[in-house]
């Protein structure tokens, strides 16, 4: 199961979550834009995620949810 999930349409691609992840596993994906035209963040290695929720806490748009 995915631990970190980005709600695609809420994300504005600001990259803040990329900067705070201690495991360096959050990146802005470059394949698909959301309806607002942003490339959105995604977790690149679910197995490495420690569910610390730093990414969710810093997101100004509350676009990230964490499952334990
Ligand atoms: S929960 Fe922590 S380890 Fe997992 S993606 Fe977010 S910041 Fe990185
Ligand atoms: S901090 Fe939030 S809005 Fe900014 S890129 Fe990450 S998920 Fe998207």
Task: State both tokens at 9.
Answer: 């349409």
**5, 15, 41, 57: which to mutate for ligand 2, most atoms within 8 A of CB?**
41
Categorize the per-residue pLDDT at 68 as very low, low, confident or very high, splitting at 50, 70 and 90.
confident
Distance CA 33, CA 54 (A): 24
pLDDT in tens, 13-55: 999 999 999 999 999 999 999 999 999 999 999 999 999 999 9
Ligand 1 in contact with 25 (CB < 6 A)? yes
Is 65's C-beta closer than 6 angstroms to any atom of ligand 2? no
pTM value > 0.85: yes
The bound ligand whose nearest atom lies closest to the alpha carbon of 34 is 2
Spatial CA neighbour of 16 closest among 26, 6, 25, 8: 26
């Amino acid at each position: 199961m995915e631990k970190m999930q980005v709600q695609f349409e809420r994300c504005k691609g600001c990259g803040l979550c990329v900067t705070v992840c201690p495991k360096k596993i959050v990146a802005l994906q470059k394949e698909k834009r959301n309806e607002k035209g942003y490339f959105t963040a995604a977790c690149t290695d679910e197995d490495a995620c420690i569910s610390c929720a730093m990414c969710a806490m810093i997101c100004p748009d509350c676009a990230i949810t964490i499952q334990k």
